[in-house]
Amino acid sequence: MQNPFQFGETVAGYPVRVVNERTVRAAAGLLFFPAVVSFMNALLTANYQPTRLFVIVFLIDMALRMLNPRWAPSMIVGGWIVRHQAPEWVGAPQKRFAWGLGLLLGLAMLYLMVLNRFMGPVNMLVCASCLTLMFFETAFGICLGCKLYNVFNREKAQLCPGGVCEVPAQKKGWSIALPQAAVLLLFIGAIGVAQGWVDQTGAVQGGFDDMATLEEMGLQPTPGTPSAAEAERCQVPAFAKALGHEAQWKLHNGCS
């Protein structure tokens, strides 16, 4: 019977304990979605409650991963989603190191935001770091934390996703051909043209831009002197002032 606290699985033919990369990427995606939603909600509306909740969820999941990935909720659900796909076994030691970094970032957010309710540029930096790590994992299968494993460990990482740990695999890189580069440049140019057209045509009319509609829905106060509650709601938080985003914060929160 497998040790419930054994990190990784022992699979015949592999020199180190391994984890299923397909499950890891699915789990990263399951965490990335609520993370980016809560992060943008805090950035645009100054509502930090979803982020505080997510930090707690993230820490529980990461703590269970450090004991044994098979008990982490995101790994359980992610594994079930990709259960019909052939496993892609990758080395467990570097994954544990990377998840340890994620756990440290989560503990920092627990101390700053959840326990002390401190909001500032440091929180933004830590959150952005977590989002970057999860995005690269789920979108590209690139474990940025794993790349630091070789810096702090004598034994080099083995069985990396895509075979990037092996020297021969590094010589088989896919390069961008000239025609493909031309397509990318044309695509960037098309985005610039589209942006200019969108700006020239003006903002979308109606919907939530219609003040009368908002008043009827009770979402917008009638013109006049703002109430005390409205004035308190529109007080720019210290972190927005520190970032120089005071005007942007007022714009996103409908404050004049």
Q: What is the pLDDT of residue 64?
A: 92
Rg (CA), the chain: 23
Q: Give domain status of residue 155, yes or no.
A: yes
Residues 160 and 40 reside in one and the same domain: yes
Residues 52 and 165 in one domain: yes
d(CA 88, CA 86): 7
What pLDDT score was predicted for residue 208?
46
Residue 145 near residue 99 (C-beta atoms within 8 A): yes
200 to 59, 78, 99, 103, 194: CA distances (angstroms): 46, 45, 47, 47, 10
Q: How many CA atoms lie within 13 A of 239 on its CB side?
A: 17
Which tens digits make up the pLDDT trace of 190-247? 999 998 888 888 776 655 445 555 455 555 555 555 667 777 778 888 777 776 667 7
- Is there a single domain that holds both residue 254 and residue 135? no
Spatial CB neighbours of 244, under 8 Å, sequence gap ≥ 6: none
Residues 115 and 49 in one domain: yes
Name the pTM for this structure. 0.71
The pLDDT assigned to 225 comes to 57
* pLDDT confidence of residue 185: 93
Domain boundary residue among 148, 170, 192?
Answer: 170
Asked, for residue 180, whether it belongs to a domain, the answer is no
Q: Please list the ranges in the chain whose pLDDT falls under 50.
A: 169-170, 208-209, 214
- 255 in a domain, yes or no? yes
Q: Which of 42, 39, 28, 165 is nearest to 102 (CA)?
A: 28
Residues 22 and 148 in one domain: yes
Instruction: Please check whether residues 158 and 59 belong to one and the same domain.
Output: yes
Model pLDDT, residue 205: 62
How many domains in the chain?
Answer: 2
Whether 152 and 255 map to the same domain: the answer is no
Indicate whether 6 belongs to any domain.
no
Full DSSP string of the chain: ---TT--SB--TT-SS-EEEHHHHHHHHHHHHHHHHHHHHHHHHH---HHHHHHHHHHHHHHHHHHH-GGGSHHHHHHHHHTTTSPP-EEEHHHHHHHHHHHHHHHHHHIIIIIIS---SHHHHHHHHHHHHHHHHHHHH---HHHHTHHHH-SSPP-S-GGGTTSHHHHTTPPPPPHHHHHHHHHHHHHHHHHHHHHHHH-PPPSGGG-HHHHHHHTSSPPSSSPPHHHHHHTPPPHHHHHHT-HHHHHHHTT--
- Residue 196 belongs to a domain: no
Domain boundary among 127, 143, 170: 170
Domain boundary among 145, 170, 195: 170
- Looking at the fold, whether 155 and 215 belong to one and the same domain comes out as no
Q: How far apart are CA 246 and CA 256, in angstroms?
A: 11
Q: What is the pLDDT of residue 53?
A: 93
Residues 161 and 220 in one domain: no
220 and 149 together in one domain = no
* Residue 11 falls inside a structural domain: no
129 occurs within a structural domain: yes
137 and 234 in a single domain? The answer is no
Q: Which of 255, 48, 112 is nearest to 245 (CA)?
A: 255
Tell me the residue range of the domain where 54 lies. 18-170
* Burial status of residue 122 (CB atoms within 10 A of its CB: 0-12, 13-18, 19 or more): middle
Residues 209 and 160 reside in one and the same domain: no
pLDDT value of residue 231: 74
> Is residue 245, in this structure, part of any structural domain at all?
yes
